[in-house]
Every structure is written in structure tokens, then in C-alpha cells.
Structure 1
């Protein structure tokens, strides 16, 4: 960054119920560090200690399971019972001593749940690696899913997080309902964009009713699909406006099956996100192949209010001050070895130690 120029990523952002110190978001990143109960461990606390020292505007935790049947991976953190509270509160308290705000991400793996005796989904789809198909969720069972999300949000608020992010992306349960590739239902939870959105809408409305209108609720959602992708863009636009009607604070835009892309692809969702920006008033953040200060500024120039990064913060938790101090881009090369190590209970860069 040239001397004397202040990057727009450093500008504060005033959201409906939250003010962020800058436009940078740490996207939710699973770490596989929880204990066998899903409770927070000391290494997790240290991870978030480094992040909260990094001048990030908004930090979103790794996805937390809302019920045991919805666990997505080994070592995932839970937000499903009161016993989770002490560890979650310790993580949330770290943001209190910094300028960063922190939201906890809520998730149910749905048909992808690897440990569920019988996974569930919008239809009898098969997304598990062992070939076990999901059971179709009956309409009468939706209330239990909604209640699990609501109780998790209440635990998040009690723990002291500044907000929650509901995971509507990456092929997990609520994402499965939004995607016509998976949701082939013929009842009120399918058929149309409004029907496919219904369960997510009930979750969001339930959280708002329980936690209060002023409690920030974010979402992360796919704007691409593995099915009829061009048609899905219109669905995504409809979903964004439905999210605004639900009082969502902001939506983080991501996409389908990111890992089939080249590791070093850049800004792979920006073109579609820029078009969607023109179709909604909802504040947006964008994740996906963002590595340099110039790319971040390109996202903001498209009218998207926040830039969201995942892997670069594994490599450099202090990336924001580095960029604002003159470093041109992240050192992350997109090799994905950090993701490969999650099964070992760690998620570290294999080339760089944090903050070195």
C-alpha cells in the first residue's frame, strides 16, 4: 500500500445492530480441536487469542454442532448443551479485550453427518462417504430442528458472543434444503425458492424471537450449486431478499464444492456476487480466493461491504496489520495442507508459524 493512502478495508462499518472496526472478516474455519464431548480445549482458546489480537473486524468461529446428530467432523465444537458454556464463554471473552467482534457459527450437518446412526435431509439423498443415505425429514420434525438452532443461539448469546452466524452453505442441512439439486420435496418445504427457504426462515425467525431483534444474526450461504447453476442465481437473489425480511444482519456469500477448484484460483465468486449485490439491500460479505490488498479493495469496489478470508488467517492471524502496514498480500499459497491436518486435531500452516 502506498504511503499516505488509507485502504478502504480499514474503514469502520456500521451494521443495523453492530459496528465493526474494519471491513475484514475471518470466515468460519473448523479446527478439530474440541474434546470428545465437543467442549472447548486450551489449544482452541489460544487460537482465538491470536485471532483477537489481529485487528480483524469480525471473527466467526468454526462451525459448532447444535445437536449430536448434526456433528460434521471429528473434534467439532458443540453448542448443544449447558456444559459447553464455560469454554465458549472463555473464547467469547477474548473479543471483549480487543476491537474485534466475534460471532459463533451454528450448524447441522444433515445428510452429511458422518456419525449419525441415521442421517436426515430434505430428501433421501446420499452425501456420506460410506454410502449411507439420509432419511427424509417429515414436515412434523422441522420444529425440532428449529428448536435446536434456537437453543444453540441462546447459548451463544449467554456465552457473550456479539452474534451468531447460521450456516446455510457448503452442503450441510439448511444448505441442502436451499439447493434444488438436493431438495426435491413436493410439500411446503420444497417446490419453489420460497418453499426451499422455509426451514431456514423458521430458524432465523425463531432465533430473533428468542434472542431479541437487536441480537445480530448473520448467515453464510451458497450462491452457486452443483446443479442448474444459472437458474440457482435467481434463487440466490430471492434468498437474499428473504433473509433481509428475516432481519439478518449480513450474509456471507460462498459457494458449492470449493475444493474442486484450482487451489490458486482467485475471486471465484466475485462476478456472481457483484450481480447479486444489485438485487438486494442486505449487507454482504464475500469469501473465496481473496489474497491481496488489491483483491480486497476490488471486492469493496463492487459494492460488497466486507471481505472474508479463511486459509490466510491460519497462516497469518495478524494479516490485517501486515496488509495495512505495507505487505501486499497473504503468504498463504492455497496448498490446503492445513485442511488435510484437521484429522490430527490441528489446523496449522505447514510452511509458516503464526505471526512469525
Structure 2
């Protein structure tokens, strides 16, 4: 039986050399609150490309200054960001990895000076700032900001775009009735709560024809919130809009106690894959190569998103290959030590 973790995967018009994805993880490493790539980003992401990760997705990159999670977040709200991002894309691709970027808006979870915005004027918790309820003009401007962010990502040379619709950030806030109490066309019914994401996808696709992914939180972990039964229809709608893959995470739209264990979110990726008939990525405490392989062999997901384990081991693909008995190509500079 072949090892699926190291089989190529075709994502629309892009071929990824294996099924290993570096999950977006904020580095909080920009200087002067300018959102520009720094030397840390060049070192951090390129190391994982040298380590033979198939697809590397940059951390949540804000489409507006107001949409940053923190003042140190990467940005894509200005043409001034393109140069640094383009250099980083080139460094990632030089080592055979596919370059992706997650474009995002933090909504009510932004920890910034000044006004923050959300679907409704409800704070995340008692320690967080109460956001301003978005006007129709705010909604229109934010959708346009996602479109312009996608255009800049294209100019920078990225192969893949992921929209951040998870973890309680702005798109997720519109989807969940826990954070969206609007009475207009963007609130109430599931169709209305989906409208903001729908219009972002439509806008992005006017400037982007490459692979498009969406990260979702498939369970709010709250009796009044959403769960997987609500997300399957959302994901069917995304497929109708030609989204190529759903990156399936969970939680964080409201404070909640979550029982975490290795692969605790895989069941959501599996349900969406088979019930919405769309490819999925599994993420969440997947650290063992054999566990990753089991998920793929049993068709529970199509890609394996590795997060903190890649912080601990930038060469996790090599670790996985050795454990699974697969030989993978090493960087020529490392040949004398790679297979030792």
C-alpha cells in the first residue's frame, strides 16, 4: 500500500508535492506596526520549505489596518506590502513548496487602539473592547478590501489563497448567531449570515482564478451556536461558488471549554468532505505521521494541516518519511546528513 502522505495532490491548477500543509500561525513579528515582512518571516517560512513541506500558508494577513489581530500582524492592505511578500514567495518556491496566504480580518477580536468593527456591537468577553456594529458602507468597504488583498496576493506571486472564516474573526462572526444579531440582510437566517462570506468569495474571484480555500470553525461549542450540521450546508454553498477546499478547524467565536485530543477536529473534516462533497484539510493536534497517514488512507480528509508540530520540528516531513519508510528528496546541500 502506497503512503498517501507523500503522494502529490492537485489543487485546481496547482500540484502540491505531498499532502503536508503548514497551517497559518501568527508570528506577531512586524516592526513599527506597518504590516511588512521582516527577516524573521523570511527565516521562519523558508525553513519549512527547506524541510519539504508541500504547501506553506502564511499567517493571517490583514486586509485593513483595523483588521489586524495585533499591531504586529502582517498586512496586505497596501501596495507597499507586495515587495516583501513577493520576495518571501520566491524563497518558498525556490525549495519546491507551494506558497499560500491566509487573508483575514479580525473583527471584534482585534486588540488595537481605536475603533474596531463587527457584525453586532457585542464584545468577545468582558476583557475585550466592544466593537462598532458595521454599517452597510463598512460591509461594502470590507468586501472590497478582501478583493484588493487577493489582487495584491496575486501580484506577489502566491499560488493559493485561504479566506479566514474561523476562530471568531470577522467572517466567522457573521456566520454565527452568537456574534451576529443583525436584523438586516446580513443577519437572521443561515442564508443571510452566509451573505458576507458569499460576497467576499464572489469579489475575490473577480481578480483571482487560482486555488481558493476557506478555513471554518465547524463547531461553536455552545448550545446556542453552530455545529457541524450547520456547516455542511455552508460548505455546499461554498462548493457551488467554486471554492476548492475547506480547511476545517473549530471553536473560538465565543469563550468555551473544548475537549482537545489528537485529531479532535478530524470528524468535522470527514463529515464536510463526504456530506458536502468537497475536499477538506484536517487540522488539530495531528503530530504523529502514522495518525496523519490513517486520516488520508481512510479518506477522512485530503490534506494534513500541521501547526505547532512544525514549530517544534521544521523538518517534520523528513521525520514522517523516516517513520513511514519513504525516501524523499533532500535539499542537495543536506544530502550528506539527510538520510543518516
TM-score, length basis structure 1 = 0.85
Query: In the alignment, what sits opposite 2:15?
Result: 19
Q: How far off its partner does 1:33 sit?
A: 1.4
Residues 309, 316 of structure 2: 8 Å contact kept? yes
The counterpart of 1:279, out of the listed 261, 275, 281, is: 275
Alignment map for 1:194-205 (pairs within 5 Å):
194-205=191-202
Change in CA separation of 1:95 and 1:231 when aligned onto 2, cut-off 3 Å: closer
**Structure 1 unaligned residues grouped into runs of 5+:** 329-356
Number of residue-to-residue matches in the alignment: 321
TM-score, length basis structure 2 = 0.89
Q: Distance in 2 between matches of 1:292 and 1:149?
A: 35
Change in CA separation of 1:145 and 1:114 when aligned onto 2, cut-off 3 Å: same
Residues 112, 128 of structure 1: 8 Å contact kept? no
Q: Kindly indicate whether residue 63 of structure 2 is the aligned counterpart of residue 102 of structure 1.
A: no
Q: Distance in 2 between matches of 1:183 and 1:248?
A: 24
Q: How far off its partner does 1:252 sit?
A: 0.4
Query: In the alignment, what sits opposite 1:47?
Result: 44
Residues 7, 324 of structure 1: 8 Å contact kept? no
The counterpart of 2:151, out of the listed 146, 151, 154, is: 154
Residues 176, 226 of structure 2: 8 Å contact kept? no
> In terms of mean alpha carbon deviation, does 126-135 or 144-153 score higher?
126-135
**Structure 2 unaligned residues grouped into runs of 5+:** 326-340
Q: Kindly indicate whether residue 168 of structure 2 is the aligned counterpart of residue 171 of structure 1.
A: yes
The counterpart of 2:302, out of the listed 302, 305, 310, is: 305
Residues 248, 268 of structure 2: 8 Å contact kept? no
Change in CA separation of 1:14 and 1:180 when aligned onto 2, cut-off 3 Å: same
What RMSD in Å do the two structures reach over aligned CA positions?
2.0
Query: In the alignment, what sits opposite 1:270?
Result: 266
Q: Distance in 2 between matches of 1:293 and 1:229?
A: 36
Q: How far off its partner does 1:326 sit?
A: 2.1
The counterpart of 1:232, out of the listed 227, 231, 250, is: 227
Q: Distance in 2 between matches of 1:223 and 1:35?
A: 34
Q: How far off its partner does 1:75 sit?
A: 1.6
Residues 287, 307 of structure 1: 8 Å contact kept? yes
> In terms of mean alpha carbon deviation, does 223-232 or 249-258 score higher?
223-232
